[in-house]
Structure formats: structure tokens, C-alpha cells
Amino acid sequence: MTDKYAVIGNPIGHTKSPLIQGMFAQATGRDIDYTAILGPLGEFAKTVDAFRASGGRGMNVTAPFKLDAFAYATDLSERARLAGAVNAMKFEGERVFAENFDGVGLLRDVTHNLGCPLAGKRVLLLGAGGAARGALLPFLEQKPAQLVIANRTVDKAQALASELAGHGPVSGGGYAELAGQQFDVVFNATSASLRAELPPVPATVFAEGCLAYELAYGKGLTPFLRLAQNAGVRRLADGVGMLAEQAAEAFAWWRGVRPDTRAVISHLTVPLV
């Protein structure tokens, strides 16, 4: 029988996951059936129960269900626990194993695909939501010189930094505190780009040779990337590589083989213009 997998979200029509996982399956010679499921709001557990009953082996989880998946899981990985959110599940009998591959996927894109190691770097992370939470532990494991979290709600950034303080040099604060500081890598993990808006970050944060990374993908030159470009930043990237790499992590977790991501990244890349 063909093994069944799916991605669940609401809305879900925009998802690239069936395309990506289908390309991975073809490249690795794995026979899987991967579909997109529109999960009714308030019925996450019921929907997943039905998928498992039909023979489902695993799921990717996207907005707005990452916290529902966290609560649904029986076995949380350390990454998922620290992130407070789940983006992949694996079903084995009554057990639901849960992972968060967002941060490790982002890290692999930056270090492996873009050739930008974070060790010894000054790193700025804009935003303190789910995407930021998933990235913090993988970032700190790379031993940056400094990791600063900036957020509109200052208390949220400070609380997040305090939670991870034992893992490395991390601090949190507001955007106003960024004046006079410069960073080697700046990540935009806010939702501003989804609304074609700019987070209130000063253009002076970009150090010479800086990498500006937009976690949103397929949006072209977002207001954040345009700000960086106008500030003289030449190294610009969006989240398409992160999308592919976290998907590859989930595929490897399910199937025991990690697919090459280059073809998927090439297929999905939109010019930053």
C-alpha cells in the first residue's frame, strides 16, 4: 500500500508542500501519497483523527494549527517543546511524535545553501512569534557572538530571551533599542511582509557584508529587503530555501532518507526584484 501523508492548514490553497514532497518522493524513489487538507477551525483533533484512521502516517502542520498540534502530540521533541509549536507529526500506533523543523530548516539554508555560518556573528531576529521561537535554539547552537530579538511588544521579546538565556548570548528588546547597533545577519521573522509592510527597524542595523533574510517567500523584493538593499546590502534572500529545507527534514524523519533540495529551490525561486 502507498503510505499516506498530508499537510493541514486553513487556508491551505497556497501551500507548496504537495509539490515539494512529491518532488522529493520521485527523486528518492519513495512511493507516497501526499495531499493538502483544509482543516476546519476548532476541529483539528477530529480532522487528524480521521486522517490517522484512514491510514495516514504523518503530517506537516501550517497556520493556524501549530499550537493545536503541540497540544495533540504525545511525544514532543526538545525543539518542538522550546518552540512551543509543532510543524510535523509522525503517527505510530497510539503515539503522535511531534517536531519543529522550521528553525533547523532556516539554519541549513543560511549555513549550507547561502554559505553564511553564524558562529561568531552578530545576529538580529525581528519578531517574537512562532517563526522566531523555532529558530532561536538552532541559532544559539551555532555560537553566535550576539543574538538580539527585537519586537513591537517589548515584554514578549524579553520573555523569549529570558527563556533561552541558558543556551547562549541572547537578549530581547524593542526596535528603538537598535539605534547605533549593527549586525552581520538580520532575519525578518515578522508577519509585516505578508501585508506588504515594513517592520520599524532602522536602516543602520545592516553591517558591511550583511546578509538580509526574509522568512516570507515568493514575495519578491519585500519592504524589508528593499530597506536592506537601499542601505547597501548586497546579500538578500527570502524563505524559499527555508521552506525546502524544513520539508526535507520532515521527509527524512518519515522516510529515513534526506532528499537533495536544489531542484525544489530552483523550481520555487522567485527573482528578488
Residue 231 has pLDDT above 90, yes or no: yes
78 is in an annotated binding site: yes
**pLDDT of residue 273 exceeding 90:** no
Residue 239 clears pLDDT 90, i.e. is over it: yes
- What structural domains does the chain harbor? 3-100 (3.40.50.10860), 103-240 (3.40.50.720)
| Whole-angstrom distance, CA of residue 82 vs CA of residue 103 | 11
Between 133 and 41, residue with greater pLDDT: 41
pLDDT attached to residue 262: 97
Residues contacting residue 53 through CB under 8 Å, at least 6 positions apart: none
pLDDT at 224 over 90: yes
**Is 195 marked within a binding site?**
no
Q: Report the catalytic residues.
A: 66
Query: Would the annotation count 226 as a binding residue?
Result: no
Residue 29 pLDDT exceeds 90: yes
**Is 156 annotated as a binding-site member?**
yes
Residue-level pLDDT at 6: 98
Q: Has residue 111 got a pLDDT over 90?
A: yes
pLDDT per residue as tens digits for the range 176-192: 999 999 999 999 999 88
Is 129 assigned a ligand-binding role in the annotation?
yes
Cis amide prior to 64 (ω within 30 degrees): yes
Position 100 pLDDT exceeds 90: yes
pLDDT at 193 over 90: no
Does the annotation flag 121 for ligand binding? Answer: no
Say what percent of the chain tops pLDDT 70. Answer: 100
SS3 letters for the chain?
CCEEEEEEECCCCCCCHHHHHHHHHHHHCCCEEEEEEECCCCCHHHHHHHHHHCCEEEEEECCCCHHHHHHHCCEECHHHHHHCCCCEEEEECCEEEEECCHHHHHHHHHHHHCCCCCCCCEEEEECCCHHHHHHHHHHHHCCCCEEEEECCCHHHHHHHHHHCHHHCCEEEECHHHHCCCCEEEEEECCCHHHHCCCCCCCHHHEEEEEEEEECCCCCCCCHHHHHHHHCCCCEEECCHHHHHHHHHHHHHHHHCCCCCCHHHHHHHCCCCC
With a cut of 90, say whether residue 46 has pLDDT above it: yes
> How does the average pLDDT of the chain come out, rounded?
95
Before 259, cis peptide (omega within 30)? no
What is the predicted pLDDT for the residue at 266?
96
Q: Determine if residue 128 is labeled as part of a ligand binding site.
A: yes
pLDDT in tens, 58-96: 999 998 999 999 999 999 998 899 888 999 999 999 999
Confidence of residue 251 (pLDDT cuts 50, 70, 90): very high
Instruction: Please tell me the pTM assigned to this model.
Output: 0.93
